[in-house]
Amino acid sequence: MTTVPIILAIDRNVVMQCGVTLTSLLLNAHRGTFYDIYILHSQQGLSESERDRILAAFPGSDRYQLSFVDTGDAFQESEGLATGHITTATYYRLAIPALFPQFESAIYSDIDIIFQDDLSDLFLQTEGDPCLLAAATDFIDLTRMDDTLDTKQDAGSLKDSYINAGFLVMNLEALRKDEIQSRLHHHASIKYEQNDQDVLNIVCKDHIRILPPVYNFQPNQFAHHLWGKKASGDRFRHLFAQGTLHYTGPHKPWNSQECVAQDAWWHYYRQSPFYEDAFYFKHIYDQIEAARNDYRNRSNSDLLRRFLVNIKRSLVKK
């Protein structure tokens, strides 16, 4: 049996989403894998009743156990730095080395992720790796970063080695050495374009093992990256079908019809303990309405095109 410690960070706004991520993780676990799951939270961010709801949904078994870890007042100074769909809880991953002294390494995962395979092989492959982190690169356009921030100078210089921090294999033993933890805390108080993701890229620069995209495939960024370009999707088919899908950006499967590869998320939502008929069928209704509007728009475009063609023909005849 291979024990894989995996850590998530949440607040009350993403309890259901956390449940869907855990459902996909456990449904794809190999028979010989035991997941030791920890959820980071603050007292203010997650109530006891919300913790009890998650524990009731995932009570533990011979295949996994789930525990909560209170981060206390960690990274309160970063509260004003998190904006948009990013919350303070995203900074909790920076405290993992100090919070888990019992582990030499562990996996961190965001909760907008769907797992489609077991993680034990990856965990065993990265054990003993001298690098601080193992992670996949990000599709982010670094040229859009604010010139007034240190990000462009520091993280931007990483180019193709700039990682997405939503899925990490963390060498906790190494991260606890050489004052790295204090450097993480220092940079967490600085305003960066990509928040704690920039912090990890800057502090761990040149000590990151780049993972294949199958471990953190970002469909939304991928679609934006290919927008207007001619490229075959054949070589990416296995990533959509088997990869770890990370729904980065503000468009999520549960709040937008614009989210790429959202079917995988809804597949696991239907199997999760948080499934609700009303929420699911609203999604189906929204899909139907979006398809209907798209059809109407295309029909109107066809009508306009025919109208213009007829005018052209009439003018030519004259």
Say what the pLDDT of residue 17 is: 97
Q: Is the pLDDT of residue 153 over 70?
A: no
Strands 64-70 and 33-41: parallel
Instruction: Evaluate the CA torsion angle 250, 256, 260, 264 in order and state its sign.
Output: positive
Say what the pLDDT of residue 209 is: 95
The mean per-residue pLDDT over the stretch 19-26 comes to 98
Q: pLDDT over 90 for what percent of the chain?
A: 53
Q: Is the pLDDT of residue 205 over 60?
A: yes
The mean per-residue pLDDT over the stretch 107-128 comes to 95
Torsion angle, CA of 201/204/210/213, rounded to 10 degrees? -30
Q: pLDDT-derived band of residue 185, with 50, 70 and 90 as boundaries?
A: confident
Q: pLDDT-derived band of residue 316, with 50, 70 and 90 as boundaries?
A: very low
Say what the pLDDT of residue 74 is: 66
The mean per-residue pLDDT over the stretch 18-33 comes to 98
Sole residue written with tokens 């982010």: 140
Q: pLDDT-derived band of residue 170, with 50, 70 and 90 as boundaries?
A: very high
Say what the pLDDT of residue 280 is: 92
Say what the pLDDT of residue 7 is: 98
Report all structural domains of the chain as residue ranges with CATH numbers, in order of start: 2-220 (3.90.550.10)
Say what the pLDDT of residue 57 is: 97
Say what the pLDDT of residue 223 is: 67
The Cα 5–Cα 106 span in angstroms is 5
Greatest mean pLDDT among 130-144, 249-263, 290-304 lies in 249-263
Q: Is the pLDDT of residue 129 over 90?
A: no
The mean per-residue pLDDT over the stretch 53-81 comes to 84
Say what the pLDDT of residue 11 is: 93
The mean per-residue pLDDT over the stretch 133-159 comes to 55
Q: Is the pLDDT of residue 232 over 60?
A: no
Q: pLDDT-derived band of residue 145, with 50, 70 and 90 as boundaries?
A: very low
